[in-house]
Chain A
Amino acid sequence: MMLKHVALLIPSLLAVTLSAALAQERLPITNKTCDELAAFYAKLPFTDVLPLEVGPVEVQGKVRPVTIGFSQTGFNHPWRIAMLEALQAEACRHPNVKIVVLDGNVDVAKQNNDVRDLLARGVDGVVMSPVESAGLVPAARAVMAQKLPLIVLDRDVPSDKTLFIGQSNVTMAEQVAERMAKDLGGTGNIVVITGLKGSSPAVDRDRGMADVLAKYPGIKVLVKGDGEWIREPAVRLMEDWLTANPKITAVFSHAEESSWGAQLAIARAGRCKEGIRHYTFDGSNAGFKSVKRGTFGADGNYTPYIGDIGLRAVIYTLTGKAIPGRANYDSPGSRLLLPDSPSVVPENADVWIGRGWGDFEPTLDPCR
């Protein structure tokens, strides 16, 4: 038993390499089988957007192997893996559809190369979730130049594309900030832990918050710091801020991980009794549980489960189906109108637990 876990390391390495070679068994990165993904598919929130029947895909009247490239920002965050999982789940439903996944390593240059590699492999279409908006324009142009379908997920590119699918971080942050302002009764001192500074979701979530707070002069932003989407920097920031500020009413954080980190710092400083509230983002099941337990006041429901829509949009385009809900917007190409999912708050947490992403548990609230 003891050795099992150490021994696991090496076989797991082998297993990943082997499974790639032995085809369909375990899919890369998520390490799931198509059977496991079928059950998962049933719980996805947007399967009724661009719906598609199970079965082979017919392109121009005949069934032939279809290869679709997926260029992901990177797999350094479970959110990104969950997006791929949704995409793989859709692919599993169509026996002649094969996915080629590339990991951009959160590097604009690498991702540009990845997309060109996909084109060189002769894919039938590309789904791309860009590291950075402007930086992936060359890649997007290369795809469009070959007249292939290009579906852009999550972060837009300011150049021509077949379809952009994503939720707005700005309006989502507005929802969360509105809720915070309401809970605070329009007055209070807040601290802000941003996502990795300069990254587009962090910029947009900050903007959404600023838009709302402009209406609430009673809410004062004491200080902002970079939580890098993770826990460790947030703990240090919060410790220092608690030392510097005798009165903090709420923490507005761009990531659940950072919020849990801030809560640790609060516990350590012995300031649980002040009832400092957390407003956060990510939309994981663990986050929703933290909402239910009262640690979080609201969780911006930013779902990664748009990966499956992306793949369906490519298939729709290849098969010449019209895309309902397609609209022109203030950027070249068109976008798919998606409803913003409501923020998860104590009132609706029960409905949402199980419908978020990730199957990990939140860590214990150190204040309880």
Chain B
Amino acid sequence: MSRSLPALRRGRLADAASRLHKQAGVVLALVLLVLAATYASDRFLTVPNLLNVLRQVAIVGILAVGQTFAILTAGIDLSVGAVLGLSVVLFARLLEHHGLVVAIPLGLLSGAVAGLVNGIGIAYGGIPPFIMTLGMLSFARGLAFIYTGGTPIPILNEDFYDIGNGYVLGMPIPALMLIAALFACGVVLRLTPFGRCVYAIGSNEAAARLSGVAVRRYKVLVYVICGLLAALAGLVYASQLSVGTPIAGQGYELDAIAAVVVGGTSLFGGAGSVFGTFVGTLIIGVLANMLNLTGVDPFVQQLFKGALIVIAVFVMSRPSRG
């Protein structure tokens, strides 16, 4: 171990340098966008607005953190929006008769269970992630509809409302939850053996398996994390909006994937970071905020969003090429 330490150090340094290099592109894209937004609206660069942006991106941001895990293993999780929807109706229904202590853990558990099913299907069943999670997308959405009969369930619990709408230390709670998720997942990915195995699986699954990585077990864990975070996003959704609607989170999987990819994580796996995902989430969130502040027509907004995703990935890929 001590013999290989200098080499390892150098490896890590070079690794860190290349990572910085790559992330510089993403951060540059965000900086450019912030400058544009500041120019477009004099209200953009104000504390309440920036806090709004943080709260607005919390739901998709948390989904995107989970999605980063799946994409890092060269997988994908298309079910996150639907799993969010399922957890949202569970939170709402459970809160009708029970307190937060019962509702929150059980709601979060539903996400983890959905993720577990995904993971087992993918790792042990050999079903491609795209297909497995596509199936789960439809299945979880169906459950949410059956469970509610298609009708939204109002949430009248005041404490629950405060989770989504309150502040701690001047920060909106959903934003703090996003930051906590980012921090925890960043640490897990960078500093634990599990984290390094996630990258290893994504870079070369066969090699990882041959070098003794418990690929299957780790893959299951990846999808459990993804599902759990989807339910956490559901907690933010339900508590912010005080309603358990079975259509919650429709299409969010694509927003989450966009945030991950804009943030520089490779769809082929093995490269990327949750920090990048955070910046990617902010890029998309700041754009939406800027367009709303300046009152851009909703038809045109979609155009901007599409163009931004492509341009951001283009800008980001430049430095790594040079």
The answer, among B94, B247, B292, for a CB contact under 8 Å with A237, is B292
Q: Which of A119-127, A174-182, A238-246 contacts B (4 or more CB under 8 A)?
A: A238-246
Are B295 and A244 touching (Cβ within 8 A)?
Answer: yes
Closest to B109 in A: A6
Chain A residues positioned under 8 Å from B315 (CB to CB): none
Task: Report B302 CB to chain A, min CB distance, Å.
Answer: 9
Complex-state Cα separation, A76 to B82, whole angstroms: 13
- From known contacts A197-B298, A223-B295, A243-B46, infer whether A231 and B241 are also in contact, taking CB-CB under 8 Å: yes
Taking a contact as CB atoms closer than 8 A, the residue among B52, B106, B156 that contacts A239 in the complex is B52
Contact, CB under 8 Å: B52 / A361: no
A132 to B299, alpha carbons, bound, how many Å?
19
Q: A2-B98, A230-B245, A366-B161 are in contact. Are A78 and B152 (CB under 8 A)?
A: yes
What are the residues of chain A within 8 A of B147 when measuring CB–CB?
Answer: 8-9, 12
Pairwise interchain contact B241-A261, C-beta atoms closer than 8 A: yes
Is A16 touching B298 in the complex (CB atoms < 8 A)?
no
Can you name 26 A-B pairs with beta carbons within 8 Å? Answer: A1-B97, A2-B98, A5-B90, A5-B93, A12-B146, A16-B146, A31-B149, A76-B150, A77-B247, A78-B151, A80-B150, A231-B245, A232-B248, A235-B240, A236-B288, A239-B52, A240-B289, A241-B295, A243-B49, A257-B152, A257-B245, A268-B165, A360-B152, A363-B155, A363-B242, A363-B243
Q: Is A222 an interface residue (CB 8 A)?
A: yes
Spell out B's residues near A (CB within 8 Å).
41, 43, 46, 48-49, 52, 55-56, 59, 90, 93-94, 97-98, 102, 106, 110, 143, 145-147, 149-156, 158, 161, 165, 237, 240-243, 245, 247-248, 288-289, 292-295, 297-299, 301
Asked if A2 contacts B106 (CB within 8 A), the reply is yes
Alpha-carbon separation in the docked complex, A366 to B242 (Å): 10
The chain B residue with its CB closest to the CB of A286 is: B154
Asked if B247 and A230 sit within 8 Å, CB to CB, the answer is: yes
B295 & A231 in contact (Cβ 8 Å cutoff)? no
Chain B residues, Cβ within 8 Å of A236: 56, 288, 292
Q: Give complex CA distance A364, B145 in Å.
A: 23
* A13 in the interface (beta carbon within 8 A): yes
Contact B146 A360 (CB under 8 A): no
Prevailing SS type, chain B contact patch: helix
Complex Cα gap A13–B140 (Å): 11
Specify the chain B residue showing the minimal Cβ separation from A244: B293
How many Å lie between the Cα of A72 and that of B158 in the bound state? 37
Q: Which residue of A lies closest to B48 (CB)?
A: A243
Nearest CB to that of B292 among chain A residues? A240
Complex CA gap A236/B301 in Å reads: 14
Instruction: Check A30 against B90 for contact (C-beta < 8 Å).
Output: no
Tell me if A29 is interfacial: C-beta within 8 Å of chain B: yes
Query: Is residue A358 within 8 Å, beta carbon to beta carbon, of the partner chain?
Result: yes
CB distance from B202 to the nearest CB of A (A): 32
The residue in chain A whose Cβ has the minimal distance to the Cβ of B167 is A268
Smallest CB gap from B246: residue in A: A76
- What residue of chain B has the Cβ atom nearest to residue A357's Cβ? B151
Q: How far is the CB of A189 from chain B (nearest CB, A)?
A: 12
Q: Does A316 contact B (CB under 8 A)?
A: no
Q: Does A264 contact B (CB under 8 A)?
A: yes
B94 touches A5 (CB 8 A): yes
A residues with a Cβ closer than 8 A to B are 1-2, 5-6, 8-9, 12-13, 16, 29-31, 75-78, 80-81, 194, 197, 222-226, 230-232, 235-237, 239-241, 243-244, 257, 260-261, 264, 267-269, 286, 358-364, 366
Min CB gap B265→A, angstroms: 25
Give the CA-CA distance A8 to B293 in the complex, in Å: 44
Whether B298 contacts A29 by the Cβ 8 Å rule is: no
CB neighbours (8 Å) of A13 from chain B are 143, 146
- A2 and B298 CA atoms in complex are apart in Å by 44
Name B42's closest neighbour in chain A (CB-CB): A244
Complex: chain B residue closest to A229, CB-CB:
B247
B156 — which chain A residues lie within 8 A by C-beta?
361, 363-364
For the complex with contacts A244-B293, A244-B295, 4 further pairs of A-B residues with Cβ separation under 8 Å are: A5-B97, A9-B147, A359-B151, A363-B156
Distance between Cα atoms of A1 and B298 in the complex (Å): 46
Report the bound CA distance from A267 to B166 in whole Å.
11
Pairwise interchain contact A76-B292, C-beta atoms closer than 8 A:
no
Bound Cα distance A33, B43 (Å): 55
Whether A30 contacts B149 in the complex (CB less than 8 A), given A2-B102, A9-B143, comes out as yes
Contact of B151 among A225, A269, A358, A364 (CB under 8 A): A358
B154 touches A232 (CB 8 A): no
In the bound assembly, the distance between CA atoms of A196 and B96 in angstroms comes to 30
Output the nearest chain B residue to A2 by Cβ-Cβ distance.
Answer: B102
Q: Which among B48, B56, B151, B240 is the interface contact of A360 at CB below 8 angstroms? A: B151
A81 / chain B contacts, CB cutoff of 8 Å: 149-151
Q: How far is the CB of A245 from chain B (nearest CB, A)?
A: 9
- Please state if A244 and B151 are interface contacts (CB–CB under 8 Å): no
Please, which residues of chain A bring their CB within 8 A of the CB of B46?
243
- Expressed in whole angstroms, the Cα–Cα distance for A226 and B295 within the complex equals 12
Tell me whether A224 and B245 are in contact (CB under 8 A). Answer: no
B residues less than 8 Å from A75 (CB atoms)? 145, 150
A2 surroundings in chain B (CB, below 8 A): 98, 102, 106
Residues of chain A within 8 A (CB-CB) of B152 are 78, 257, 360
> How far, in angstroms, from A81 to B295 measured CA to CA in the complex?
35
Q: Is the CB of A224 within 8 A of B150?
A: no
- Do A5 and B106 have beta carbons less than 8 Å apart? yes
Contact yes or no, B43 A360, CB < 8 A? no
Please name all residues of chain A whose beta carbon is closer than 8 Å to the beta carbon of B165 when the two chains form the complex. Answer: 264, 267-268, 366
CB of B236 to closest CB in A, whole Å: 10
Are the C-beta atoms of B146 and A239 separated by less than 8 Å? no
| Residue among B55, B147, B241, B248 with most chain A CB within 10 A | B241
Shortest distance between the CB of A47 and any CB in chain B (Å):
23
Q: Complex: how many Å from CA A358 to CA B289?
A: 34
Chain B residues with CB below 8 A from A77, complex form: 150, 247
> Which chain A positions have C-beta within 8 A of B146?
9, 12-13, 16
Give Cα A362 to B154, complex, Å: 7
- Contact (Cβ within 8 A) B298 A226: yes
- Which residues in B have their C-beta under 8 angstroms from that of A5? 90, 93-94, 97, 106
